Amino acid sequence: MEKLSGTHEGTSVALRAGGPGLRRRHVRLQPDPGRGSVMSTGDDGGEAASRPVLLVEDSDLVARSLVRMFRNTRYEPVVAESAAAAHALLARQDGGGTRFCAALVDRGLPDADGLRLAREIRGNHGLPVAVISGELAPHGEDLPWLMKPFRPHELHALLGSLDVEGLD
């Protein structure tokens, strides 16, 4: 093990332990006299604030891929594999549970029409909603639409375009 010394010893150890992902974030050291320092990390200028996004996607493979796209963002996907699972998560939200900042809904769900579910979430829960689908958006559709396959920057742009409460 390499011995580290100097006034930034803790930061050096933290950056080496945290790997490259930590190097892209702000590292804040708060001195705690007599005990050392408390380190916290954040992204692009401040607090690491997780914004839960309801992700309704029935394909495990697609859901895992989408979850990876959320890495290094301020959003945290909460996956529901069906309309029924989404309804359960939204009921918990309405009862004081996790408050979602937005929802992404797959058009093709096994237990409901994803487009209908997206409209219901927007109307009944007041969330910004977008549809993700392998199909083109129907003519005249007013919901934001992202056609699969898409790249992470397209997902991030979509989330940025939604009127997400608390978004900088």
Walking along the chain (168 residues) 10 residues at a time, the average pLDDT comes out as 40 41 43 50 51 95 94 90 96 87 96 96 95 93 93 91 60
Q: What is the DSSP letter of 137?
A: P
Looking at the DSSP assignment, which residues form a beta bridge with residue 108? Answer: 113
CA distances 162 to 52, 110, 148, Å, are 14, 26, 18
Tokens of 6: 């100097």
The pLDDT of residue 45: 44
CB distance 56 to 77 below 8 Å: no
Q: Please identify which residue in the block is written with the tokens 């989404």.
A: 86
Q: How many residues does the chain have?
A: 168
Tokens of 75: 């959003």
The pLDDT of residue 98: 81
Q: Is 10 helix (H, G, I), strand (E, B) or coil?
A: helix
Query: To which H or E segment does residue 54 belong?
Result: strand 51-56
Tokens of 101: 């900042």
Between helix 114-125 and helix 83-94 the angle, nearest 10°, is 10
The pLDDT of residue 102: 95
